[in-house]
Structure 1
Amino acid sequence: MKKIILYSTWVLLLISSCKKGFLDLAPLSDTNTVNFYRTPEDMLNAVNAAYASLRASGQYGAALYAVGEVASDNTEILDAQAGIDISQIDAFTTLTNNGMLNTMWNDHYKGILACNAVIDRIPAVAMNETLKARYIAECLFLRSLMYFNMVRTFGDVPLVTKEIVDVQEGYGFARSPQASIYEQLIKDLEQAASVLPNDYGTADKGRATAGAARGLLAKIYLTLQNWQEAANQTKAVMDLGVYQLMPTYEAVFAIANKNNAESLFEVQYKKGGYGLGSPFNNAFSPRLSGQIVSTIGAGGGQNTPTADIANLYEANDQRRAVSIADGYQNGSQFVAIRYIKKYLDPALFAANDADNNWPVLRYADILLVRAEALNELGYAPDGEAFTLLNRIRERAGLAALSSTELPDQESFRKTLAHERRVELAFENHRWFDLVRTGRAVEVMRATGKSIQDHQLLFPIPQVQIDINPDVITQNPGY
């Protein structure tokens, strides 16, 4: 019988913890779930496994930059050898058998089930109740993040909030309406935010915090165009007094500054031959560049910055040099193929084994979300929204803007969209920003892409429908 992760029994992949702390991640190992979930140490390993699922290729390892960036006007695929699945996404010729989207579906549900296993089994474990509540809250945050990415990509998806231990039980989960999923995420994140700490000691840096939960809530409310709640949640993050902008844009992405003062949440990677290193150094280096850019291993030619975004930066915007290179020097020849610089590791351990984390939520994003929400609630000349926008611009080395340059709500709205694009470039926000603001079709057609209205959502992987055709249906147009 064919099975997928949602409908089958599964073996939980675990990251064993160690006394050196959360970031000192040990190699993956298989564990027999029958004899597991018995001790506090077992539960710590299970929670760490849920975090580890974010690194999968169907999550932040590859699929999310394909959907969040390659589908947008930020990046493109110049060489079909970079992969047929991601090339389809770039060209809006995505088929229902696209392997990257099927991997995205499976890897997200694998992570969701890892979270559910902790939430369902931890009540029976004898351990400190405060720590028990924190582990549940961490998994509620992680599960919410995964569902947020799924619902924005596929629309209605099966909402599974308990551990599936019987194959047949899994066949009963149909696609849930987006509204129901968002309702669940808001409930879960409110619970998580009320329990999670504002910060951790060094050993646990990188775990979900109250600020991360509030930040994700703000992004959800922004997507739902609930401007007041988006403003409320960003204010709650700011009032924590935990976060601040790093002094320079370059410092945000320096490997030595992982989990810095601007970071609400990052996907954790660790190089060193453990299978835990990040692949972006190689994936984003140009194909056929040898080791000139990547330093070790070949370039993948994925996520290539478009001319559109390369030309978008204002003069003297310090963010461009940190984010984009216009090419590389091959002996006496300059090869003019752009590539992303944000995730380069000059001292990676091996091919696809770099130390760069992936930024999921940054304080700069929170400030821009608040500025957008406030402007949508009502344009205020030189009000707080201007102050927030200008904090981002001034950090980038640009002049502040006033109501003289932005005299109305629409002009502020357009400038805010520009700032989001260049500030958060190549961090998986652009496509979702275009969709939620209703601009995706217009913007992508202007780039020459033949996008249709139904392609704002991606197709449900056909294999998922074939396995459970009675309850899993395809998105319209595919």
Structure 2
Amino acid sequence: MKSYRFLILMGMVILSSCKDGFLNLAPISETNNLNFYRNQADMLNAVNAAYATLQFSGQYGQSMYAIGEGMSDNTEILDAQSGIDISQLDAFTTLSNNGIVNVTWNDHYRGILSCNTVIDRIGAVTMNETIKARYTGEAKFLRALMYFNMVRMYGDVPLILKETADVSEGYSYSRNPAAEIYTQIVQDLTEAEKTLPASYTGADVGRATSGAAKGLLAKVYLTQKKWQDTVTKTKELLDATTYDLLPAYADIFRINNKNNKESLFEVQFKKGGFGLGSPFNNRFAPRLAGIAVTTIGAGSGHNLPTADINNAYEAKDLRKDVSLAQGYTASNGSFVAARYIKKYLDPAPFAASDADNNWPVLRYADVLLMRAEALNEIGFVADGEAFQLLNKIRKRAGLPEKTSMEISSQSAFRLAIEQERRIELAFENHRWFDLLRTERAITVMNSKGFKVQAHQLLLPVPLTQIEINPSKIKQNPGYE
């Protein structure tokens, strides 16, 4: 993927002039003056600039795990020195001036605006029509992914679907109802799946495919409780030969096995000193571990597995030792009990926070479990297809099959799916959003000692956004 990553770097340079704040709409203003988008190569660079934003700290570089895992019962912060912003999220004391809340909003809109630039500009460019359709599909997939994350985190958000060339235009945008955001997400993904290829070769491996669009659309339908649409869309993925479970769970996360047969979409990272490496090797290591876990650079103590998830694994579950460690061996040879995530370890990072791990956004195992959940919601069938899908996941994990003797009702199957999703997809940013989607967040979290209030199911709108445009952007209820 050499050329892809080189152009990501170029995209990051272009985007570097975009200052904090929703209304600072570079790189659009700069590229207007340069008449930048003239040919197919320029459009490739523009598409790669949109991909590049996925690596930003406000997206998959930090925010998605801080929210998707840190706000759930899967992970925690044990040392305040790991950072006040992430500690607030973990403890449900988040304020509207929280830095992660702010950068999440800004970096998602930086990505969305980059997608809009591609979609608006590409029609006027003389280039191969098949490639043009593909680039448009990639931009729509990325825009849908970013809006899907935004609407789940903030609720109503501004829906911006065109290139913005003048910062004054930003003052016209207010927050659109979440239903409108979902309508656009579905439209983008429906259009994207028609123009994206099923797979890529060479340097293009890792780009959005038709399968990625189908998988994300299935998750959107599941979130909307559109059970039959979820079943229909997941069936398309099951009928294809593109995806399958890997025989061994550990193989999914190996550095030398990126973008494997189980992967629908990953955020691409590449170590090497170019600013494209992943930071998780250091972020997820215990703060006092030195180089015992990371080999280079200190740990940040982010996203540490809780005792609750440690105890949630069944005996002999093969996924546990792949997913988390119970501690590390210190330089003096003693064992230090301090749990940490193992899925994103790189045995040979280039430098601190410069590792080779991709981030899995969509996996085939997720598709199987989504289908099982939707089938059960349509109607519980004892030992039916939903059971078969659940047991396919459990078999790989070395666990016995579940039958209707143990799971005898629709409500019991819901809990079985919730448990299996938690363990199978642990530390991949699904747990908090699963609890939101099933309306179980308050019940589950408060049963474990948290004090989650209804308004905290959404993040506060960043204070900076309200101060910039107080007549249009209002705060979520319950926050000051």
**TM-score, scaled to structure 2:** 0.94
Q: Which residue of 1 aligns with 2:304?
A: 304
- Work out whether 1:250 is the aligned partner of 2:232: no
CA–CA distance in 2 between the matches of 1:21 and 1:468? 40
Match for 1:118: what amino acid? Answer: V
Q: Where do 1:368-379 residues align within 5 Å?
A: 368-379=369-380
Q: Which residue of 1 aligns with 2:351?
A: 350
CA–CA distance in 2 between the matches of 1:262 and 1:215? 12
Out of 11, 19, 22, the position equivalent to 2:4 is: 22
Q: Where do 1:88-107 residues align within 5 Å?
A: 88-107=88-107
8 Å Cα contact 1:97/1:461 also seen in 2 = yes
CA–CA distance in 2 between the matches of 1:352 and 1:102? 22
SS in 1 for 2:312: coil
Q: Which residue of 1 aligns with 2:23?
A: none
- Work out whether 1:475 is the aligned partner of 2:476: yes
8 Å Cα contact 2:8/2:48 also seen in 1 = no
Alpha-carbon deviation of 1:23?
4.8
- Work out whether 1:43 is the aligned partner of 2:25: no
CA–CA distance in 2 between the matches of 1:48 and 1:26? 5
SS in 1 for 2:335: strand
- 63 and 147 in structure 1: CA distance in 2 versus 1, 3 angstrom threshold: same
Q: Where do 1:222-301 residues align within 5 Å?
A: 222-301=222-301
CA–CA distance in 2 between the matches of 1:46 and 1:396? 41
CA–CA distance in 1 between the matches of 2:9 and 2:52? 11
Residues 338-364 of structure 1: CA distance to partner in whole angstroms, max 9, x if unpaired? 000000001000000000000000000
8 Å Cα contact 2:7/2:49 also seen in 1 = no
Q: Which deviates the most, 200-209 or 454-463?
A: 200-209
Residues 169-225 of structure 1: CA distance to partner in whole angstroms, max 9, x if unpaired? 111110000000000110110000011111111221100001100100110011111
8 Å Cα contact 1:23/1:206 also seen in 2 = no
CA–CA distance in 1 between the matches of 2:327 and 2:447? 25
Alpha-carbon deviation of 1:239?
1.7
CA–CA distance in 2 between the matches of 1:237 and 1:156? 31
Match for 1:236: what amino acid? Answer: E
Alpha-carbon deviation of 1:318?
0.5
Q: Which residue of 2 aligns with 1:62?
A: 62
8 Å Cα contact 2:8/2:51 also seen in 1 = no
Specify every segment of 5 or more residues in structure 1 that has no aligned partner in the other structure, as ranges.
1-17
CA–CA distance in 2 between the matches of 1:23 and 1:159? 29
Match for 2:430: what amino acid? Answer: H
SS in 2 for 1:326: strand
Q: Which deviates the most, 192-201 or 31-40?
A: 31-40
- 25 and 297 in structure 1: CA distance in 2 versus 1, 3 angstrom threshold: farther
- Work out whether 1:452 is the aligned partner of 2:453: yes
SS in 2 for 1:251: helix
Residues 401-427 of structure 1: CA distance to partner in whole angstroms, max 9, x if unpaired? 111121111111111110000000000
Alpha-carbon deviation of 1:248?
0.5
Alpha-carbon deviation of 1:26?
6.1
- Work out whether 1:421 is the aligned partner of 2:403: no
Alpha-carbon deviation of 1:21?
3.9
Q: Which deviates the most, 278-287 or 325-334?
A: 325-334
SS in 2 for 1:264: strand
Alpha-carbon deviation of 1:335?
1.2
SS in 2 for 1:27: helix
Alpha-carbon deviation of 1:24?
5.7
- Work out whether 1:159 is the aligned partner of 2:159: yes
Residues 213-245 of structure 1: CA distance to partner in whole angstroms, max 9, x if unpaired? 010011001111111111111111112220000
SS in 2 for 1:179: helix
Query: After TM superposition, what 4+ stretches of structure 1 lie above 6 angstroms from structure 2?
Result: none
Residues 116-166 of structure 1: CA distance to partner in whole angstroms, max 9, x if unpaired? 001001111110111101100000000000000000000000000101111
SS in 2 for 1:22: helix
RMSD: 1.1
8 Å Cα contact 2:279/2:354 also seen in 1 = yes
8 Å Cα contact 1:289/1:298 also seen in 2 = yes
CA–CA distance in 1 between the matches of 2:179 and 2:362? 23
Q: Where do 1:201-216 residues align within 5 Å?
A: 201-216=201-216
Residues 27-79 of structure 1: CA distance to partner in whole angstroms, max 9, x if unpaired? 34338513211111010011011001000000000011011000000000000
Alpha-carbon deviation of 1:333?
2.2
SS in 2 for 1:100: helix
CA–CA distance in 1 between the matches of 2:447 and 2:411? 20
CA–CA distance in 2 between the matches of 1:240 and 1:74? 33
Specify every segment of 5 or more residues in structure 2 that has no aligned partner in the other structure, as ranges.
15-26
8 Å Cα contact 1:80/1:87 also seen in 2 = yes
8 Å Cα contact 1:23/1:205 also seen in 2 = no
Q: Using the aligned pairs only, state the percent identity.
A: 63
SS in 2 for 1:97: coil
- Work out whether 1:191 is the aligned partner of 2:191: yes
Q: Which residue of 2 aligns with 1:335?
A: 336
Q: Which residue of 2 aligns with 1:140?
A: 140
Q: Which residue of 2 aligns with 1:125?
A: 125
8 Å Cα contact 1:75/1:304 also seen in 2 = yes
